[in-house]
């Protein structure tokens, strides 16, 4: 009896010790604008539960095409609400799993101090050669940027000056490297917690474009993965929302 009791205790200790080895991994496709906050969230999530997170960032439209073609992503954090809805309708995502994890803000930004005024009047003055935007066909922030240009009545006049990036990350790089004097980027890309805001900017009023509601959804590839479900649940926690708000998003 003593031997059996000792053996049982030893088995329990062994199982408890093996706990971290059971932790899983989740493959996440994340919109380029949300790459930095998601990296911090992923670290906090892994520390809290042991699940590893493998992130791939890019344009939401590109991810949509890749998922339809069979890419093994398990969670999508889109830059819009339309793409997750389409994936549910086509059977590539789990019905009832979609929710808004963040509401984005658009900003007109330049690395040059004083170039961009706080009313965005530079768009009408034309005191620049190149204006960077994300591809409006695949990147929701690019679509929002074009809505702003049309609302200001300068879309046609500025068309020859547009430099189009594949994603909002590439649009940011065009401005950061000086290949474009200014550009429409995500507020989260320039208002990084703990880092001084460089250059000059105009935070675009929400009234000039459709709301940038960013939805998350569980993809069919992750329907049976507890790590994928746990990550989506973690995005709704106060800890995750604190990080999201720190980067300038609304929750």
Q: Looking at residue 92, which CATH number applies to its domain?
A: 3.40.190.10
Clarify whether residues 114 and 170 are in a common domain.
yes
Clarify whether residues 94 and 110 are in a common domain.
no
Which ranges in the chain belong to alpha helices (H)?
2-17, 35-49, 60-68, 82-89, 122-125, 140-151, 155-158, 168-176, 187-190, 226-234, 238-246
pLDDT grade for 22, boundaries at 50, 70 and 90: low
**Residue 77 domain flag:** yes
Clarify whether residues 198 and 79 are in a common domain.
no
**What is the pLDDT at residue 20?**
46
Which of residues 242 and 140 earns the better pLDDT score?
242
**pLDDT digit string, tens, across residues 118-137:** 999 999 998 899 999 999 98
Q: Which of 16-20, 91-95, 243-247 is predicted most confidently?
A: 91-95
- Helices then strands, counting H and E runs in the chain, come out as 11, 10
Report the percent of the chain where pLDDT is more than 90.
78
- The model's pTM: 0.78
**What is the pLDDT at residue 12?**
35
Clarify whether residues 164 and 118 are in a common domain.
yes
Clarify whether residues 118 and 203 are in a common domain.
yes
* Domain range enclosing 123: 105-208
Structural domain tally of the chain?
2
Clarify whether residues 74 and 47 are in a common domain.
yes
């Amino acid at each position: 009896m003593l031997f059996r009791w000792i053996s049982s205790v030893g088995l329990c200790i062994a199982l408890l010790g093996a706990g971290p080895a059971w932790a899983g991994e989740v493959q996440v496709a994340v919109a380029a604008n949300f790459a930095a906050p998601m990296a911090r969230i992923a670290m906090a999530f892994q520390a809290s539960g042991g699940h590893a997170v493998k992130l791939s960032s890019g344009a939401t439209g590109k991810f949509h095409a890749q998922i339809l073609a069979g890419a093994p992503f398990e969670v999508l954090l889109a830059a819009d609400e339309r793409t997750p809805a389409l994936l549910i309708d086509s059977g590539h995502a789990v019905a009832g799993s979609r929710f808004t994890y963040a509401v984005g803000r658009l900003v007109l930004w330049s690395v040059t101090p004083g170039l961009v005024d706080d009313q965005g009047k530079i768009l009408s003055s034309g005191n620049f050669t190149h204006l960077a935007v994300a591809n409006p066909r695949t990147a929701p922030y690019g679509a929002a940027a074009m809505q702003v240009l049309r609302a200001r009545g300068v879309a046609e006049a500025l068309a020859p000056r547009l430099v189009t990036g594949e994603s909002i990350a590439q649009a940011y790089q065009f401005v950061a490297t000086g290949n474009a004097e200014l550009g429409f980027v995500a507020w989260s890309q320039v208002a990084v917690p703990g880092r001084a805001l460089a250059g000059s900017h105009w935070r675009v009023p929400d009234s000039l474009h459709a709301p940038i509601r960013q939805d998350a959804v569980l993809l069919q590839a992750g329907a049976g993965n507890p790590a994928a479900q746990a990550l989506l649940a973690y995005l709704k926690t106060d800890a995750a929302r604190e990080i999201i708000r720190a980067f300038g998003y609304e929750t």
